Structure 1
Amino acid sequence: MKKTNKKVILAIILISYFMILLDNSIIFTGTVKIAAELNLSQTTLSWVTNAYSLTFGGLLLLGGSIGDIIGRKRVFMIGLTVFAVGSLLVGLANSAVMIILARAFQGIGSAILAPTTLALLMDSFSGEVRTRAIAAYGATAGIGASIGLVIGGIFASLLSWRDGFFINVPIAIIMIGLTVLFIPTTQATQAKRLDLIGALTSIIGMTALVYSLVGQQGRLLALLVAVVAIAAFIWQEARTKQPMMPLRLFADCERLGGYIARFFYLDAMLSMWFLTPQIMQTHLGFTPLQAGIGFFPLTVVNFIVALQVSKLTTRFGNTKLLTVGIATTAIGMCALGFFSEQVGYALGIAVPMILMGIGQGLTLSPLTVAGVANTLPADAGAASGVVNMVHQIGGSIGMSFIVAVSATFKNGLTSYHVAMGLATVLLIGALLAVIGLILPTLKKESE
């Protein structure tokens, strides 16, 4: 394949992945305008985000498995189409029911796209080029989420929140056209049937788990359903000959450590992305646009550091970058817990964000590498699905837990301090996963 084609393929993958990550956070700075225009209560407004999380998190494993069965190029174009239609419907929504259903439909497209983008990357690149491509993919995960807050603030303040969704439509159409021209058609990686029992139990389990965290009624029942369905899913995957998520993916300590560390890391980061724009608006008087711009220290530093990750990986190794990256993020998160109006934005938020930008830039790419390490070609889609499932579910669980606990404190600033403290503890958990599971594999390889 020509070198030019390889660059175009990587661009298609990264732009598509960036697009779905953008819509995961762009909503945060536009919620006030959405609620005012559609006359939504706070409870109803929460479902604009929750509906997306439910379908995205619930269908991720199925999305990764389907690509292995019917070909990733075909599934990729289906995902782009569904996501584009969902984005159009969100932009056109004129009622609570319509926007919630449209966001749920958009989540289906994301669930198909997210694992397929990484699996296509694994198919298209090998060796050192693959390492650099995965580094770019991991960097996109951090930059997409951070810059979504900035873009959301721009659209909400200067244009319309609807434009943040309408813009996905022409981008998706262009990506579909480029996919037809440049991405080679792939057959199923192995002849197998869809694991219907596994698909059904995983959808029920993941959807019920997300609902138990973000739902309004029947959360305990949903949690019980989630536990039973996930247990049934694991039992099915252990006994079936053609599982949609081979349990051997978790037998490798490097991959397992990558999954656990990513889970805790996203727990902490999504909570920070969700709460910090609010604290800037309520305690510093920032507009949505100013709150979005307030994330520039993190976003810009993250971008600069992420560009150096492939070189740093070659020099220091993936595990060392992970250790330094997570530790630096934890220091920055801890520093956010000392914010007050008296300390101000520069010292209270901007400086900690610089530290977190360095940490995030060093962390997300190596976490992606660890999550797909030593993966067989036949398991690429399933492994990619697990990476993205951990990313999505981890963020939802962490944010729900931290917001629920911190909300018990009536003082807004105290609540934020508690939230950042809890997020720091979760980052320490991610660091321990790296030290306990991934670091020993490095020692074995050097012996």
Structure 2
Amino acid sequence: MSTPAPGRARTVALALILGCQLMMALDTSIITTALPHVQRDFGFTQAGLSWVQNAYVLAFGGLLLLGARAGDLLGRRRVFVAGLALFTAASLAAGLAQSAEWLVAARAAQGVAASFAIPSTLALLVANYPDPAGRTRAIALYSAVIGAGGSVGIVIGGVFTDLLSWRWGMLVNVPIGIAIVALAFRFLPETERRTGTFDLAGALTSTVGMSALVFGFIRAADAGWADPVTIGSFALAVLLLVAFVLVERRVAQPITPLRLFASLERSGAYAGRVLIVGATFSTFYFLSQYLQGVLGLTALETGFAYVPITGMFFAMVYVVRPLVTRLGRPVLLVASLVVALAGMTWLAQIHAGSTYFPDIVLPLLVIGVGQGIAIILMTQAGVADVAPQDAGAASGLVNVAHQLGGSLGIAVLTIVFAKAAGDTPNPAQLAAGFHATFTGAAVFFVLALILAVVMFLGSRASARRSAALGDRTVAIGDHAMTRTR
């Protein structure tokens, strides 16, 4: 049975957990500023280039639930260390890649490794902080690392790309991974191993189904919606995802207990996270190309262009608790999404003659405030009131939603960009493509806002029902006492 580490050891354990989460969050974005360089080195098309990101996030998101189950059955520290060791080796392979296929394969291997390491991070964090106040602070830091990791990765990627090579964005993981693995056995508590079986059918149908869905969008950007491969990919995705639900309903030990979706708050948190991350991650992906392709910034300058939003993400950790106390979680979530939507709508006004200040940096600061708060609240809602036996699956779903949002966001908005920019874009056409893309990201925030309002109304209705049930119970008790007298 796991026991929380005392004092200094608990602090070191938290640092290791956050270090792993940050390293893997960085890996989804650290190559973003280097994408133009990677495209030139390996001859990627625009749609093909997206697989440098999507190979990672699809393998990551698709196998997260299986990784969470592995942690439950084998021990979360053991699975955490094994996943991190594989991630370190795959990072080395990515940094040494000699072809497009090699790089994409190494990125996919990184995603597989991360899918087993990451679910254990949140579960280990929860086990290490049994007290509600300490757990709330730790989850806030964890959420900030996830939210800020993307923008920090872009900064670091820009530094490496300009001063050394984009390859160092991959190679830097090697010494960090070795250090965390060396310290994990000493400072991270092992969790109790449970008996059971792996739901391989559920893992296979969900992973291939989500991959087919994303591939369909990316294929549509190149070949169009009427292309037989596009249609076949979407059809396969629907069949496999329906099969996944049927498998999870019937299997004795599912990787995704469907009871987790019985809560409107948790279901809304998963869906809302897909939309929020889809908007934000895609913005990082395309804005990096706008800054270099239209404004003519170097990779280093592009990396530092994200410093303000990075600082804003971290700053939100310190304002969420007092704002929740003052406004309540549902109201704060709705307000944060309104702010994020305003920032994204502002950013969408860019054109070929825009400047970094004020046209880019000010909208980014506004997005940072809204998205930074929203992602913390969504993380908390995603694991709210979860039974201990479902902690791994719930934390896995939080990360699945995060990775699925990133891959779907890029896939969908790649179509928007291709349609608006045309086949042979000049700077003006590129700017038009980015304008359309950021407008599409704003639509993602609109949908997330509608979902948050539904969650807000649902929570109020649930509170009224609970109060009415409590009053009825009291009344029945008073009546019974009266009859007894």
Structure 1 residue 337 and structure 2 residue 379: aligned? no
Q: Secondary structure at the match of 2:358?
A: helix
TM-score by length of 2: 0.87
Residue 154 of structure 2 corresponds to which residue in structure 1? Answer: 149
Residue 250 of structure 2 corresponds to which residue in structure 1? Answer: 239
Following the alignment from structure 2 to structure 1, what is the Cα–Cα distance between the partners of residues 410 and 44?
A: 22
Q: Do 2:68 and 2:119's aligned partners in 1 also have CA atoms closer than 8 Å?
A: yes
Query: 1:336, CA displacement in angstroms?
Result: 0.6
Query: 1:246, CA displacement in angstroms?
Result: 0.4
Query: 1:3, CA displacement in angstroms?
Result: 2.1
Query: 1:202, CA displacement in angstroms?
Result: 2.1
Which of 292, 299, 311 aligns to 1:300? It is: 311
Q: Do 1:90 and 1:162's aligned partners in 2 also have CA atoms closer than 8 Å?
A: yes
Structure 1 residue 313 and structure 2 residue 324: aligned? yes
- Alignment-mate amino acid for residue 30 of structure 1: A
- Alignment-mate amino acid for residue 11 of structure 2: K
- Alignment-mate amino acid for residue 199 of structure 1: A
Q: Which moved more, 1:34-43 or 1:169-178?
A: 34-43
Residue 422 of structure 1 corresponds to which residue in structure 2? Answer: 440
What RMSD, in angstroms, separates the aligned Cα atoms of the two structures?
1.9
- Alignment-mate amino acid for residue 25 of structure 1: S
TM-score by length of 1: 0.94
Residue 115 of structure 1 corresponds to which residue in structure 2? Answer: 119
- Alignment-mate amino acid for residue 401 of structure 1: V
Q: Do 1:73 and 1:184's aligned partners in 2 also have CA atoms closer than 8 Å?
A: yes
Q: Secondary structure at the match of 1:84?
A: helix
Please list the CA deviations of residues 332-372 of structure 1 after superposition, one character each: whole Å capped at 9, or x if unmatched: 00001112344422121111111011112211111100111
Following the alignment from structure 1 to structure 2, what is the Cα–Cα distance between the partners of residues 214 and 116?
A: 31
Q: Which moved more, 1:70-79 or 1:434-443?
A: 434-443
Please list the CA deviations of residues 112-164 of structure 1 after superposition, one character each: whole Å capped at 9, or x if unmatched: 12222112222222312111111111111110011111111111001111111
- Does the C-alpha gap of structure 1 residues 418 and 80 become closer, same or farther in structure 2, counting only changes over 3 Å? same
What is the 5 A alignment of 1:130-209? 130-188=135-193, 190-209=194-213
Following the alignment from structure 2 to structure 1, what is the Cα–Cα distance between the partners of residues 351 and 42?
A: 33
Query: 1:438, CA displacement in angstroms?
Result: 4.2
- Alignment-mate amino acid for residue 424 of structure 1: A
Q: Do 2:122 and 2:395's aligned partners in 1 also have CA atoms closer than 8 Å?
A: yes
Residue 373 of structure 2 corresponds to which residue in structure 1? Answer: 362
Following the alignment from structure 2 to structure 1, what is the Cα–Cα distance between the partners of residues 411 and 126?
A: 32
Identity %: 40
Uncovered stretches (5+) of structure 1, i.e. residues with no partner: none
Following the alignment from structure 1 to structure 2, what is the Cα–Cα distance between the partners of residues 298 and 286?
A: 18
Structure 1 residue 227 and structure 2 residue 238: aligned? yes
Which of 393, 403, 412 aligns to 1:401? It is: 412
Which of 441, 444, 447 aligns to 2:459? It is: 441
Residue 12 of structure 1 corresponds to which residue in structure 2? Answer: 16
- Alignment-mate amino acid for residue 333 of structure 1: M
Query: 1:45, CA displacement in angstroms?
Result: 3.8
Query: 1:325, CA displacement in angstroms?
Result: 1.5
Q: Which moved more, 1:369-378 or 1:42-51?
A: 42-51
- Alignment-mate amino acid for residue 245 of structure 1: T
Q: Do 1:326 and 1:363's aligned partners in 2 also have CA atoms closer than 8 Å?
A: yes
Residue 483 of structure 2 corresponds to which residue in structure 1? Answer: none
Query: 1:439, CA displacement in angstroms?
Result: 4.6
Q: Do 2:218 and 2:414's aligned partners in 1 also have CA atoms closer than 8 Å?
A: no
Residue 425 of structure 2 corresponds to which residue in structure 1? Answer: none
Q: Secondary structure at the match of 2:451?
A: helix
Following the alignment from structure 1 to structure 2, what is the Cα–Cα distance between the partners of residues 15 and 277?
A: 25
- Does the C-alpha gap of structure 1 residues 155 and 326 become closer, same or farther in structure 2, counting only changes over 3 Å? same
Residue 424 of structure 2 corresponds to which residue in structure 1? Answer: none
- Does the C-alpha gap of structure 1 residues 377 and 240 become closer, same or farther in structure 2, counting only changes over 3 Å? same
Aligned length: 446
Query: 1:172, CA displacement in angstroms?
Result: 0.9
Following the alignment from structure 2 to structure 1, what is the Cα–Cα distance between the partners of residues 444 and 103?
A: 33
Following the alignment from structure 1 to structure 2, what is the Cα–Cα distance between the partners of residues 211 and 57?
A: 14
Structure 1 residue 27 and structure 2 residue 39: aligned? no
